[in-house]
Amino acid sequence: MRGLPISNEKSLLPSTTSLTEEDLLNTNYNVNNKNKQNWLKRNSKNVGLFIGLFLVLQQFIISPFLNDKDFEKGERKSTCQQLDAIYPKSFNVSSLVIGEKEKIINWLSDAVKINTETYDDFGEVGEDNRWDKFYKFTEYLEKSFPLVHKHLKRTPLYTHAAIYEWEGSDPSLKPLLLTGHSDTVPVLPDTRASWKYDPFAGYFDGDYIWGRGSSDDKSGVIGVLSAVELLIKSGKFKPTRTLLLGFGNDEEIAGNGALAISKYIEEKYGRDSIAILVDEGGNLEEAFGQTFAAPAVAEKGSFNIEIRVETKGGHSSVPPPHTGIGYISQLITALEDHPHQPYLPVTSPLVNYITCAADKAPGIPKNLKKAANKLTDSLTKANGKFDKKALKAIEDWFVSGSVEDGTFQQGLGRAWVSTTQAVDIIHGGLKVNALPESVTAVVNQRINIASSIAELKQQFTDAIAPTARRLNLSIEAFGEEVDTFAGPSAGKVILAGAKIGLEPSPITPYTLEDPAWRIFSGTAKGVYATRPEAYLSEEEASKEIITVPAVGTGNTDTRQYWNLTKNIYRFAWKNDRNKNHHNIHTVDEAIRADDFVEEIRWLLNFIVNVDEARDV
């Protein structure tokens, strides 16, 4: 029996049999184990509650605390990968602006003096003589940039648009395309006296260049031409990659000039033939104590909707309860009372903007940083799910928090994450004693990159329908009868859209896996590291720029170039210190002269860096 295991031996021995030390140890184990089992049975409910409480604490208190600590220690995987600075290998390109500041200022100042306003009612080129002022602008460019016009082939398109071609030595490399537009929005006559300086004086006060177009977008056209003129003048650069310059003449109203340029490029070079395109759009931004280069890698769609109210006319001495103007006023009120709801998809470039800021910006609000970190952590998990509450917190910050903490100007954050609507035009009535029979209003819509024209139309109709029904107005929405009345109605509401709407743009790749983004972000870092301020102090020299993707709230000529490249950056090296977008489209438009010089220096470096690259 001695050969049997102790547990079996104990089961066979009488209780009076002496136990060995080994038996006692095993007995204590079994007794304790039995007691534990009995205790668990007696306290199973309490144990379950304890485990549940622990899981809750771990989810909402312990894990976020540890995650924040991990972030502070640098253990979190960053969503803000940045490339090292890229500098041209062939020569010091930045040196080309030395001693040229006065000439650069005059180039832009004199361009502003030439009025190139365009209006929505412009007729065809050649039929409407208001286009003729663009001949003067073309003459000015030819006179001011003689080397460009000597060494580059200029082809006029749509009469006042043009493409310049600087042929490279290696046709296997895709060209670089730099674009801009020469037209400007009008200066409203009633506001002219409100300008600090005459809007067409091109006045330089020693700090700023003032006038219509100084920022939007003559600085873009003159900046590109200045950079190319200086490159040719240096004698140090011969392009390996073909360089194309495309300047539209009607960006503010139609974009037909850019369309002609796009067709020319596609016919000569082919679809998807451009390596990178840079046009106007994003700027340098100061946010959370950090400077960002924020190119718009996408832009919202746009669609104009006309609301027309048709009612019976008559003499105004016997008016109905509401005239057509009264009806349309209530419909507009209903529309503005039901704005489009914000929506920030997790795939939006703006999410990367904020998660990147959480990694790099010292002054980001704690709640926003916490939400960004939670979202980042959830995205790194393999289950494909993400933290919806964290994403909603970021969306809410764009809508209201960004205004409360002063990061963005009023309305900008919301515009980034919403479809916006603005009633910009209204017409109605011909005579003071006659009831208006037809009244119209035009609403400009800028469509969220996560939405569509179809969704916009439905929301628009839904917003005004209850008010139209209350007023006994039938509705025809975009060619379809929505509401009709069996008996007599007070009138009819007709919704009509623009003939051609613009869906939200494709999104340019914005990770370091994309060679175009690497060149862009690396050039930005190099130009920022060598800015004039960096030589003033160690503190300035230690500062770095962070490149993040942004979204354009307006539309640019890039809408005509989607067929040519996936790499579209809407960007100019302008620092929006005052968060006023340089007063584009309003009184006192201006650009800081030193910023304009830096914009040209950035263009010089970018042109040469792209030319030296072989992976794009």
Q: Output the known binding site for Zn(2+).
A: 181, 216, 252, 279, 585
| C-alpha to C-alpha distance for 591 and 210, rounded to whole angstroms | 7
- At residue 368, the 3 state secondary structure works out as helix
Q: Which helix (H) or strand (E) holds 592?
A: strand 590-592
Which helix (H) or strand (E) covers residue 304, if one does?
strand 301-310
267 is catalytic: no
Q: Which residues pair with 583 in a beta bridge?
A: none
- Distance CA(59)–CA(36), nearest Å, equals 29
Amino acid at 156: P
Considering 251, 595, 599, 611, which one is annotated as catalytic? 251
C-alpha separations of 219 from 215, 291, 366, 595 in Å: 5, 22, 38, 11
3-state secondary structure of 202: coil
Cα–Cα distances (Å) from 392 to 62, 388, 389, 401, 606, in that order, read: 22, 6, 5, 12, 37
- Please state, in angstroms and rounded to a whole number, the distance separating the CA atoms of residues 411 and 420: 10
Helices (H) and strands (E) in the chain, counts: 19, 18
C-alpha dihedral (452, 453, 459, 462), degrees to nearest 10: -150
From the list 183, 285, 299, 588, the catalytic residue is: 183
506 contacts 499 by C-beta, under 8 angstroms? no
Three-state secondary structure readout of 206-248: CCEEECCCCCCCHHHHHHHHHHHHHHHHHCCCCCCCCEEEEEE
Has 396 been annotated as catalytic?
Answer: no
3-state DSSP helix/strand/coil percent for the chain, to nearest 5?
45, 20, 40
Across the strands, what pairs with 569? 278
Burial of 147 (0-12, 13-18, 19+ CB in 10 A): middle
Give φ, ψ of 414 to 5 degrees.
Answer: -65, -40
Residues of each annotated binding site: 181, 216, 252, 279, 585
Does residue 245 contact residue 179 with C-beta atoms inside 8 Å?
A: yes
Q: Which residues are catalytic?
A: 183, 251
